[in-house]
Structure 1
Amino acid sequence: MTIKNFQIDYDAINRRNIFTNGDTINGRIILEASKKTKIQSLVLIAKGEARVNFSEHYGLLGKINPEEAEDYSHKEKYYQIQQYILKETRQNEREIIGKGRHVFPFSFRIPDKELPSSFSSMFGQIIHTLKAKLKQSMIPARKAKTHFTFVSKAEMNIPGIMVSQHRSKQKSIALNSGIVLLDIYTRRMGYKPGEELHVTAKITNLSNRVVKPKFVLDEKKTYNGGEYIKVDKHDILQEKADAIKSREGTTAVTKVLTIPRQLSPSILICPIIKLEYRLKVYLDITCAPSIVLKLPIVILPELTDENHLPPTSGFRYEACGTSYEPAWINGPQAIDPPPPYEAAALYPLFSSSSYTAA
């Protein structure tokens, strides 16, 4: 095998290694040849897509029956851009590269349009990928790829996201036992991980029942498999308040919920995968159905420029044109002979891990 190593790497743009709309990704395709080698073409492919894939089992009395399982899948593509690093040639005009390690720089600009953030679960993924494809005559194409984390700016442009919220509900208790009123207020809809969510519940108990307030922040994931929609919900935070006695009149209860730092940003613009958060306030009423009020909560991405890193030394990049042709500077750079892989890296990368697929 003449190609000993084939991989793709990219430089981080900030310390959290997160990209957003319109950012430019600078990187390199690294190819190591054991001898002079003929190359038909070398192409970089940048792609963003969402995909859903899950199975549902149907059986008598709710029991799982694997023989009656149905599979559901759906895919949505957002962009796919190709840069020809070495253009495909006719069989007798193949590119020849020498023995050694060759570095092919590339520069790719993420489309500045509405795109959903990276996401991964057992039922669906939103993936932003960089892939290199190497073609040689009479040999199966070799591929190397890596994923980059993308966080969308579009989720911050929701109308009313920084405006206070209010909901109210009144319930009459059976057997002329009186009424209970619940009003809830929050300062706004959008919060970043680590921020405090202040919620106030104004409870008017004009009944002869005891009521118990409860505050819940929950997460709702929705997967659209085409003919079937799968919903996955679970509670993230839960707080209880002191019980309010019968005929107590009006009581104001305020709770402060700290948004967990590990929460992923809301995903609201993807047709087949949604990640939503809700604040639910319950009033459990003795011997009567509860009152429940819900408010949408949007977890905002943390996008700042304060941690931007300087460009990686050793390479220069020029902006790509609209045709997405590679911006070459004096062609590919070769180092001959190649160093042992155990040696210290020659390139000061701040990149995610990459892998090579045969």
Structure 2
Amino acid sequence: MVHFSYLLYFSMGWGYEVNIYRLLSSQTHLCVLRAQPVGLQTTMESTVKKLEVTYNPINERNTFTNGDFITGQVTLEMGKDCQIESLFVKFKAKADVTWSETYGKTTVVYHSKEKFFTLKQYFIQSKDSKDGEYVQLVNRSSEYSSVVAPGVHVYPFQFPAQNVPSSFKGPHGKIVYSLEACLSRSMRPDKKESTTVTFVSKADLSDISALQTPQRMSMDKKMKVFTSGSLAMEVNLEKSGFLQGEGIKVVSFIKNGSSREIKPKYCIYRKQSFFAKGRRKVHTKELIKEEGSPIPQKVSQTVTQVIAIPHDAEPSILNCNIIKAEYRLKVYLDIKFASDPAIKFDIVILRASQGSAGLPPSYSAAAGLGPEAFGNSAPAPWNPAPSSGNPAPSSGNPAPPAWNPTPPAWNPTPPAWNPAPPPGTQAPPQPSSVSSPLPPSYGTHQLYPSPNDFSQKKF
């Protein structure tokens, strides 16, 4: 007969329970020691009740672009007095690529990442804190007491949107912007909370002549086997850079000297390329297919076709080393029982300014494409080879602008900086009028130990 008998229970100083059991049988006597943590997690949760990071949207799309400022707040709710080593919020952007390939019985994982920037604002900073090579500190003058009293504390922050690629998510890679709050205490694991931010590079074509330059390509083909004669085609585009929702005006001069009727066709397709360890993974997808009227044999004709770019087409990404999102326009002639001659153009699709959706197509110089959409260089070729290795981001990041500027006129008034008090607490009285739409000074934050006390407790 085998049974367990409970022998001893006691508690250790580091928050562990120790239970000792003896396994009794006619042949075996075995003591089993089992240790498990108790009370430690409960103690932590009772001290730090909530850590949250939120930001304030500035438009209906909930997106940010070059020149915007991302404002928000870190909310910290404490259950009792606590000594904090550091509390900060971090705004970062990075690209990440991963895929695997199987060679026989061997599977190889290809992975690469690229960091664009990391901006960090401390509210409470330890003297021993060290920041990495790519970290740029902002608002260092914001200082709060390292001993935090019970209640809800709100710490406002502000970051400038950087000049980097748009947010992106593909089958083998992504470009992510995120805000992360981190709380550090002595002999405790760090507590972190994060949220993602959608960034879209600003479209501004006014200073990029390459994307405004007309394009022209031509081809000739002599027919064989089932079709006799020859074909000639010349295709013209007014430019190569287009906004979401804009129409591409395609003018083609087609000389059908063959013995068959032909039909001009058009296709816009997207090409996504992912680079890692000297390898490339490619995905293509057709977005639009259209066709024109048939052209009889032995007839020459000028054909004009307007192809509208979808409003939700993802902007081109040309300024990332490990992810490329590119577009091509293909114009080809459909011929029965023969290969179809084709001409391909590289085109660039950029984000349309808010409110431009639904406007009629524009065939003249498009407003709104600028150098910031492509970094500091001209657009990359269709299949640029990735540079050897992934170069580190330049350490010479420009200094950030003044941190408390007057928000642009189109920015909505940020929400009140005092969050709702915890359940069961009387809401603090609100002023009868707002004297200024600007957020409060970065040197103050709000505390909710009681409904009538909004000042930070001094230690």
Task: Answer yes or no: same fold by TM over 0.5.
Answer: yes
State the shift of 1:336 in Å.
2.3
Greater Cα shift, 282-291 or 70-79: 282-291
| Cα contact 1:129–1:145 (8 A) shared by 2 | yes
- Is 1:314 the equivalent of 2:314? no
User: Which deviations, in whole Å up to 9, do the C-alpha atoms of 1:300-354 show, x marking residues without a partner?
Assistant: 1123599933231434548xxxxxxxx6323x3112259xxxxxxxxxxxxxxxx
- Change in Cα spacing, 1:219 to 1:98, as seen in structure 2 (3 Å) is same
Indicate the SS of the match to 1:140: coil
3-state SS, counterpart of residue 176 of structure 2: strand
2:157 to 106, 131, 138: 106
- Do the aligned partners of residues 297 and 87 (structure 1) sit closer, same or farther apart at CA in structure 2, a change above 3 Å counting? same
- 1:98-247 matches, within 5 Å, as 98-111=149-162, 113=163, 115-153=164-202, 156=205, 158-174=208-224, 177-247=228-298
For structure 2, which runs of at least 5 residues remain unmatched after alignment? Answer: 1-44, 129-144, 357-408, 418-437, 452-459
SS at match of 2:235: strand
Q: What is the letter of the counterpart of residue 111 of structure 2?
A: S
Partner Cα distance (1:17, 1:309) in 2: 12
Retained in 2: the 8 A contact 1:222–1:229?
A: yes
Q: Which of these two proteins has the greater Rg computed from alpha carbons?
A: 2
Matched, 1:24 2:69: yes
Q: 4+ residue stretches of structure 1 with deviation over 4 A?
A: 154-158, 304-307, 315-318
1:228 corresponds to which letter in structure 2? Answer: R
In structure 1, C-alpha distance between the alignment counterparts of 2:339 and 2:412, rounded to whole Å: 59
Correspondence for 1:336: 449
Q: Shift in Å at residue 173 of structure 1?
A: 1.8
How many angstroms does 1:218 deviate by?
0.6
Partner of 1:63: none
Instruction: Work out the CA distance in 1 between the residues paired with 2:193 and 2:59.
Output: 24
Output the CA distance in 1 between the equivalents of 2:127 and 2:78: 20
SS at match of 1:302: coil
Superposed CA offset, 1:60-89 (max 9, x none)? xxxxxxx43321111111111221110115
Q: What residue identity is the alignment partner of 1:329? A: G
Q: Show structure 1 runs of 5+ residues with no match.
A: 60-66, 319-326, 339-358
Residues 162 and 140 of structure 1: is their aligned pair in 2 closer, same or farther, counting only changes over 3 Å?
same
Which amino acid counterpart does residue 78 of structure 1 have in structure 2? F
Residue of structure 2 aligned with 1:271, choices 321, 327, 331: 321
Deviation at 1:52, TM superposition (A): 0.7
- In structure 1, give the amino acid aligned to 2:238: R
Whole-angstrom distance in 1 between the partners of 2:216 and 2:323: 27
Alignment correspondent of 1:62: none
Does 2:157 align with 1:55? no
Q: Secondary structure at the match of 1:13?
A: coil
Change (3 A) 1:55 1:159: farther
Deviations 1:279-309 (A, max 9, x none): 1011123333211101122111123599933
Structure 1 Cα separation of the partners of residues 203 and 321 of structure 2: 14
TM-score w.r.t. length of structure 1: 0.81
RMSD: 2.5
Q: Distance in 2 between matches of 1:78 and 1:155?
A: 21
Q: Measure the CA separation in 1 of the matches of 2:67 and 2:295.
A: 53
In the alignment, which of 116, 122, 130 is matched to residue 84 of structure 1? Answer: 122
Larger strand share, 1 or 2: 1
Q: Which amino acid aligns with 1:35?
A: K
8 A contact 2:92–2:118 mirrored in 1: yes
CA distance in 1 between counterparts of 2:413 and 2:304 reads 48
Which of 1 and 2 has higher RCO (CA within 8 Å, sep 6+)?
A: 1
Structure 2 length-normalised TM? 0.64
How has the CA–CA distance of structure 1 residues 155 and 288 changed in structure 2, closer, same or farther, with 3 Å as cutoff?
farther
How many corresponding residue pairs? Answer: 317
Contact 2:246 2:308 in 1 (8 A): yes
Corresponding residue for 2:15? none
